[in-house]
Amino acid sequence: MRNVSTHSGKGISAVLQKNPDDVVITFAKRTAMGRNRKGQFKDIPVDEMMQALLKATFEKTKLDPAKLDDICVGTCHPPSPMYSSRAAALASGIPHDVPISTVNRLCASGLMAIRNIAHAIQSGEISMGMAIGVENMTLNPRPTPIIAESVDKIPRAHDCIQPMGWTSEMVAQTYKVSRQKQDEYALISHTRANKAMTTGIFDEEIIPVEIRGTVISVDDTIRPGVTTEMLSGLKPVFQDWGNAATTAGNASGIGDGAALCILTTRERAEKENMEILGKWVGSAVVGVEPRYMGIGPIAAIPKVLTQVGLTKDDIDIYEINEAFASQFAYCVEELGISMDKINPNGGAIAVTHPLGMTGLRQVVTGLTELRRRDKKLLCTSMCVGSGMGAAGIFVNEAQPFREAKL
């Protein structure tokens, strides 16, 4: 299999090496998160969210949008996502001759948007592009998949379209992840995210957007003061499946938000005096047994590390999506990675999980935290609905913040 990475060399020295043809990230921000049904984006469709994010980005970067060669949008459930994305780009001032595409690999869609633009730059087809991840799960919740009866009678095919909550319970039951353990991991996420919000850590990764006369700049999804007692007192939400251990407190939130990265070659970034925040190294995608969808990172992370010649100990920070505490706890313990390195500012259980946004949000969050700590290597990963997993490797190259928030 071809090594899908920025440069052909393997190992930490090759990964950290700077080459003119490297794919680099020159801008990476996200919107604040919005709660499902009651939050700040509950009435804002994805095209309007994208338009606001694009306008804020061009105002902040002063980038001439005509310089973009291509745009890729990761999004999952809005109707006519291609038309909505194209319309949002045109409405934000992007010229009509800048093309756009959309990609849907469910929870990995945002990472796939980055991957698609990075690969286009690597191939020489483009030299600058934009990756966007966006989802409004209030307005566009997961539709019920419909497959033919002849397809549905095949067990794996049947399993791959089941609700994500069912897969959570299958992981918990099969791999013996107790309710107590799920709540323990959930508490870590809630506690870390609350601290990050109250100390202003998230301010560095959020770009304020103005929509309908209101500036949105603070997550409204993070619940303060979550305790063990509160989590243990919640009723299971899937009482007919497995051991019924998944609750609203130990599963990812269903929410709304958008994130964005600008990518180009190192040579062009340096020529045009663009700040280089990070370097794209490579990615990997895998398939897993559909009923155990949540174990995807266990296969994806070793695969991407092997592709680029790194070990798990080389990575400074992991952003591993917390779809459910059941699968997250099992992945962490099977991978043998210290929680000191994983989701230092909490994850989707606390901040929420807009499907198309998450893969890109993890990169924004991870690179910002590496900059704050003056560390180098980021690995992002997530399980993917229908039975898949994905992972990516990035290098922080940004100058440290002058006054790190501790």
The tens digit of pLDDT for each residue in 311-322 reads 999 999 999 999
Cβ atoms 304, 108 nearer than 8 A? no
Cβ atoms 320, 332 nearer than 8 A? yes
Q: In the prediction, which pLDDT does 375 show? A: 98
Q: Is the pLDDT of residue 3 over 50?
A: no
pLDDT tens digits, 58-84: 999 999 999 999 999 999 999 999 999
Q: In the prediction, which pLDDT does 404 show? A: 41
Cβ atoms 222, 351 nearer than 8 A? yes
DSSP 42: T
Q: In the prediction, which pLDDT does 157 show? A: 98
> Using a CB cutoff of 8 Å and minimum separation of 24, what contacts does 12-16 make?
12/309, 12/310, 12/314, 12/377, 14/308, 14/309, 15/281, 15/308, 15/309, 15/310, 15/377, 15/393, 15/395, 16/376, 16/395
Q: In the prediction, which pLDDT does 54 show? A: 98
Query: Half-sphere exposure of residue 76, counting CA atoms within 13 Å on the CB side?
Result: 31
Q: How would residue 401 be classed by pLDDT, with cut points 50, 70 and 90?
A: confident
pLDDT tens digits, 337-376: 999 999 999 999 999 999 999 999 999 999 999 999 999 9
DSSP 216: E
What average pLDDT does the segment 138-154 reach? 97
Per DSSP, helices labelled H in 209-295 are 228-232, 266-271
Q: Is the pLDDT of residue 5 over 80?
A: no
Q: In the prediction, which pLDDT does 8 show? A: 58
SS3 33: coil
For the chain, what percent of residues have pLDDT higher than 90? 95
Nearest to 93 by CA among 132, 131, 58, 47: 58
For the chain, what percent of residues have pLDDT higher than 70? 97
Q: Which of 107, 160, 261, 379 is catalytic?
A: 107
Residues 6+ apart with CB under 8 A from 131: 71, 72, 73, 74, 110, 113, 114, 116, 117, 260, 261, 263, 360
pLDDT tens digits, 298-312: 999 999 999 999 999
Q: In the prediction, which pLDDT does 1 show? A: 33
Nearest to 56 by CA among 298, 260, 200, 342: 260
Rounded CA Rg of the chain: 20
Q: Which of 76, 160, 379, 383 is catalytic?
A: 383
Q: In the prediction, which pLDDT does 304 show? A: 98
Q: In the prediction, which pLDDT does 141 show? A: 95
Q: In the prediction, which pLDDT does 239 show? A: 85
What average pLDDT does the segment 20-26 reach? 98
Q: Is the pLDDT of residue 2 over 50?
A: no
Q: What angle do CA 246, 249, 252 make, to 5 degrees?
A: 80
Q: Assess whether 383 carries a catalytic annotation.
A: yes
Q: Assess whether 379 carries a catalytic annotation.
A: no
Residues 6+ apart with CB under 8 A from 297: 320, 321, 331, 335, 381, 382, 383, 389, 391
